Amino acid sequence: MPYIEIKLPTVHAGNQYSLKEFIFWTRTAIYKILLFAAVPTILFELFNCRWLAIPWVPIAMIGTAAAFIVGFRNTQTYNRLWEARQIYGSIVNSSRAWGLMARDFVSNKEAQQQLIYRHIAWLTALRFQLRENRVWESINKHYNREYQRFYTIPEQKSNLADELTAFLSAEEKEYVLQKKNRATQLIALQSKQLEQLKQQGIIEPLNYIELQNTLNALLEHQGRCERIKNFPYPRQFASINKFFVYLFIMLVPFGLLNEFQKLGEHYVWLNIPFSLIVCWVFLSMERVGEATENPFEGSANDVPITALSRTIEIDLREMLDETDLPPALQPVNKILM
């Protein structure tokens, strides 16, 4: 089947995010913060509403608490991302081992291809399942949807049934698509065929055991992915993080009024830019943590499961000495899906 290269970017593959990219991602919030900082400053300076000024000390204490909870959350969400990347690294290794054993332990050429192609179908079904939306994920928030102009989530632009056509028989594809957990059922079909091949004498008993052990490892990898996908970062920590950060952001413009007034006449107008800077720093840290929580949702910071699956497909089909191979996916706008 011929392949057309489609540049479907998601991990950021550049040196770093540029300040321009970060400002674009948070610009709606910047506009709101700017307005929110300007209102008390204008009332304080032009309308003599001195009662709007709040002592800085209690606000600083809230900021300290917010900084601690933001740091804790970002550490934990990074751990979720890193674990997801390790799991997919294990999937890469187990997939290559599966391809080698399917080629060398199975004497029937047709069966070799079936076992390898069905494994590619498993990779395809798994990534489609991991890209399904969950209510707690942030991918559909307006600022994340807006950022998607820089990349595409291929699992949302293509159809699983169409992608499985190249790797499964019509009968198997129809059977799998009727199931809820398609990836698990594809592993079950692999196991069923191994049992048949063993009974036919095409696979030796010891080799059969090794192949089954690899299937068990793949099921374990799938289960670990599903655990991260289906169990969110605890909502109580995510909620308190947002509450503290937004409370601090709301108080900063009022707390800095007196601080700048002490510097002299007209210095109070500096409250607007400095409130914006302080609030933007905390808001950006909060958003980075949120964007790292769910490493399979399809954000620009996700584990690039589509590209990794394509790499595995190329490796496995080369083991069958095929030459009509799909191209490796490349970053687009520095984002690799």
pLDDT digits (tens, 9 = 90+) for 162-221: 999 999 999 999 999 999 999 999 999 999 999 999 999 999 999 999 999 999 999 999
| Overall number of domains in the chain | 1
Across 314-321, average pLDDT: 97
d(CA 325, CA 120): 13
Over 80: is that where the pLDDT of 9 sits? no
Residue 118 forms part of a structural domain = yes
pLDDT-based confidence at 13, cuts 50/70/90? low
d(CA 52, CA 156): 49
Residue 157 forms part of a structural domain = yes
Residue 2 forms part of a structural domain = no
Q: What is the pLDDT of residues 280-312, one digit of tens each?
A: 999 999 999 999 999 999 998 899 999 999 999
Q: pTM of the entire structure?
A: 0.91
Residue 84 forms part of a structural domain = yes
Residue 5 forms part of a structural domain = no
Across 77-85, average pLDDT: 96
Residue 6 is predicted with a pLDDT of 33
Residue 326 forms part of a structural domain = yes
pLDDT > 70 in the chain, percent: 96
8 Å CB contact between 84 and 228: yes
The contacts of residue 24 (CB under 8 Å, 6+ apart) are 147
DSSP class of residue 308 equals H
Residue 54 forms part of a structural domain = yes
Residue 265 is predicted with a pLDDT of 80
Question: Which residue range forms the structural domain that includes residue 151?
Answer: 11-336
| 191 burial via Cβ count (<10 Å: 0-12, 13-18, 19+) | middle
Residue 4 forms part of a structural domain = no
Higher pLDDT, 240 or 10: 240
Q: How many CB atoms lie within 10 A of CB 104?
A: 11
Residue type, 314: I
Residue with tokens 């599966």: 98
